[in-house]
Structure formats: C-alpha cells, structure tokens
Amino acid sequence: MVHDPEVVYRQTTPASRALHEKAVAVMPGGTTRTTTYFDPYPLYIDRGEGCRVWDADGTERIDMLGNYTAMILGHAHPKVVEAIHKQAARGTGFAAANPIEVQLATLLCERVPSLDAVRFCNSGTEATMFAMRLARAFTGRPKIARIEGGYHGTHDYAEVSTHPVVSEAGAPEAPIARPDSIGTPEWVLEQTVVLPLNKPDAAEAIIRREGGQLAAVILEPIIGAGGVIAATVEFLERLRTVTRELGILLIFDEVISFRVAPGGAQQLYGVTPDLTTLGKIIGGGLSVAAFGGRADVMELLDPRQEPNLAQGGTYNGNPLGMAAGLATMTELTPDVYEELNRKGARVAEHLSEVFASHQVPVQVNSVGSLFALHFTNTPVVDYRTMAAANKKMTRDLFLGLVNHGVLMAPRAMGALSTPMGEQDIQQFIDAVDAVATEQRSRWQSETERS
C-alpha cells in the first residue's frame, strides 16, 4: 500500500486546519513566520512543557526542534519560568540600562573566547546586521563575504545565496551572488562575495582577489538551518589567516552553533574570530540576541566618542529577556553541555542504524546536540552536496514524523534539549523506524530514480 503522510496529517489535525482557514484571512499563508509554514497547512502549537508540545487538537509530540534550536532547556523550564515571573512583576522595560544586562554580558564575555565586549539586540537578524555594519564602519570597506548555503537572517545583506538554484549559482569553486528573496536590491548582490564552504584554496583565492574591498567574512562555523554542515578546522584556520593578513574582520555567526559548547563552536574548534553573533539559547526562549568581539572594534559603539555607531532598539537588553537568558545560561554548566552532546551522539548513531536497516541512503550530519538528515549517498560537506539530496524523501519523513508524534524542521533538522531522557530518544528513533517502514515502497522508487 502506498502511504501518503499528507492524508494522515489532514485526518489528524482538524483544529490546526480550522485555525489555518481563519488565519489566512488575516495573515499571508496563515502564519507570521515563513519557517513555520509547511504544506498543506502548518501545525498550530498550543503549549509546551519539557521536551513535549501539544497542538491545537491536544495531540502530544516530542519536540525535536525546540523553536529552531533556541529551547535548549526545553519548554517552561521551572527556573526560567520563575525568572520571567519575578521580572514581569518588577517591570518589563525601562528607558534606561538595567542590572541584569550587565550580568548576562559579563557571563557571555567570560565564556566566549572572542568576546571582549558585547551588545544586545532582539534577533539573530539584527545581530548579523549590526555586526556587518560595524565591520564596514571599522574597515571603511563596503563588501561582505559569506558562505554559500549559510544563513544569517532576513535583512538585505543576509538574503544572498542562502538557497540558490544550483544551475544559476555558478561553478562550485566560484559561486555567484544570488538573491534569496524578491525585493533584494541589486546593489546588495554587487556588495556581496560568495565563498564555497570547505574549499580553502578556492575561498582564499576569492578573498585575495576582493581583498581591498572586503570589510568582513561572515560564516556559521557549523551551518545550522542549512543542514548541520560543519566547517573543517583547516577551512576555519585558513579563513583566520588570510583575513588577519588582509585586515578583513572574521565574523562567526554562532546564533545556532553556540549550543555545542560553553564557548560555542569557536571554543570547540579552537579558532577565534574578530566578531561573534549570538541568539537563540541566550534568551531562554525570549527574543534576545547579541553581537560582540574585539575591544578595538566594539569601541566604535561607545557613545562617549565621536563619531560612533548608534545602535538603538526599544527592547535591546530588556530586563525580561535578560532574566530569561541569564536563568538559562546559568543552568548551562559544562557538565550539562557534555551530557547533552552525549545524547546527541547517541541519537546520530541510532539514526544511522535505523536507516541502514531499511537500506535507505542517508547522511546523518551531527555536531553536539544538532543533527540533520540528508537523503543521499554522498557526504554532505557544503551547499552543493546538500542541494543534491532528495527533498521528496525529506518531506515524507517530516510529515510522517508529525503523524508519529515528533516535531522536527521540515528540512529534517533537529536539536536536542536537556529534559530529553532515554525514553524520549527511543520514542523518536521508533517513530523514525515506523516512518521508514511505511515509506519503503515510495522511498525505493525515489532512490532508484535518483
């Protein structure tokens, strides 16, 4: 029997469907976040606790995504809830600095190797936008280099070559800047230089060619939303050496990868950038992000000197977000990271075993508590190898898992949270096994076709 997961999804999520029908009248596509939309209509989540979420029909699922990796302690963690309650009762925002932002800034500067100083903002998008602007201000140069397939949010400079159509994106060693969105200005493409991941010689040659024009090279040391693809240490070291030589700032976007170690991927890989952007886990589930780095660069933001780079923002460092972030980061001791990463390694191992037992060609990309599945025989080491994987099988897996009580990213990416125990992990693996069993005939014909 051919098993179409969409049929089951439609049958079992009537409340989400009804909400969607109402929502489309007032929000394009019925959501306010493109990344939460999927076909035929998105799931509407009513509440979460620990590593579980409940949808509008009251159906319980394991949350293997945790708001796209942000919820590292799971949902409604008692310490975080307590911190939010306490602060909410004391006021949520003032036109003034507050003591908690000093505490969270101190904690981050102590933990992250590259951070001499930090500034808060409200989203990863803002963090990369300010980091890029700061790099342009510091160097006096206009261009930003970034990695094909990397993701840095949704401002104009970020919306380039995140997911280009490969046939339009140039040679693998010399990718060309492609817009991700309609409305991306032409001048942004002209000011953006695209580098291939994990090709150190090719990347260095491009950087040297553009050298005098480049303010910064920005990259995720571990590409997150784009498929958990780690940069090799050799690649990172090469970027470090060439950028230092040419006076270009190296920016690590650790909005996602900060969860792999107390000091982020820069600590794990032993390469220190000039600037770092953070988000997701540092806000404990509220909208907090940050950018920071070398003292001589961050100094440009100091309002005591002229000229300075102004960074306004009504909610920057608001005490509610700071309290949630501080409570979360305080819970994240080195032991907690170690245990979470151990669980991540076990999940990756189990996933490989399950797909091997079904003879499904898959790459399990994982670092620490992050993982992603790519349906291909070829190791996924950059955007081009990721783009060549079978996307239909990914969709079947995602929707099949939703039907079997698991929420992951539609692109089959996931992140563990600390409340996950052995039983939760086993339940996830059993669900993957059940979907692979159901999809055997569909996936066999897909595999033969590709």
260 forms part of the interface with ligand PLP (CB under 6 A): no
* Binding-residue pattern over the window 125 to 144 for ligand PLP, x denoting contact by CB under 6 A: x--x----------------
Shorter beta-carbon distance to ligand PLP: residue 124 or 262: 124
Work out the angle between the directed axes of helices 391-403 and 5-12 (0-180°, nearest 10).
Answer: 30
Which of these segments, 148-156, 308-316, 354-362, 419-427, binds ligand PLP (CB under 6 A)? 148-156
151 forms part of the interface with ligand PLP (CB under 6 A): yes
The residues facing 50 across adjacent strands are 75
Question: Is 433 an active-site residue?
Answer: no
Q: What is the largest CA-CA distance in the chain?
A: 71
Question: Is 86 an active-site residue?
Answer: no
The DSSP secondary structure of 225-289, one letter per residue, reads TTT-EEPPHHHHHHHHHHHHHHTPEEEEE-TTGGGGSTTHHHHHHT---SEEEE-GGGGTTSS-E
- For residues 86 and 326, give the distance between their C-alpha atoms in angstroms, rounded to a whole number: 13
Least distance to ligand PLP, CB of residue 161, Å: 14
Binds ligand PLP (CB under 6 A): choice among 30, 279, 317, 410: 279
- For residues 7 and 278, give the distance between their C-alpha atoms in angstroms, rounded to a whole number: 39
The DSSP secondary structure of 11-27, one letter per residue, reads HH-HHHHHHHHHHTTTS
**Roughly how many angstroms between the first and final C-alpha of the chain, as a whole number?**
22
Least distance to ligand PLP, CB of residue 64, Å: 16
Which of these segments, 173-181, 183-191, 220-228, 307-315, binds ligand PLP (CB under 6 A)? 220-228
Question: Is 41 an active-site residue?
Answer: no
159 forms part of the interface with ligand PLP (CB under 6 A): no
Least distance to ligand PLP, CB of residue 226, Å: 8
Q: What are the CA-CA distances from residue 147 to residues 135, 151, 178, 399, 436 (Å)?
A: 17, 9, 12, 30, 33
* Binding-residue pattern over the window 17 to 56 for ligand PLP, x denoting contact by CB under 6 A: ----------------------------------------
Q: Where are the beta strands (DSSP E) in 64-213?
A: 117-121, 143-147, 170-171, 174-175, 192-195
Which of these segments, 79-87, 93-101, 123-131, 436-444, binds ligand PLP (CB under 6 A)? 123-131
In the block, residue with structure tokens 């339940």: 427
Shorter beta-carbon distance to ligand PLP: residue 123 or 403: 123
Q: Looking at the annotation, which residues are catalytic? A: 151, 253, 280
Binding positions for ligand PLP, rule: CB under 6 A: 68, 123-125, 128, 151-153, 220, 224-225, 253, 255-256, 279, 289
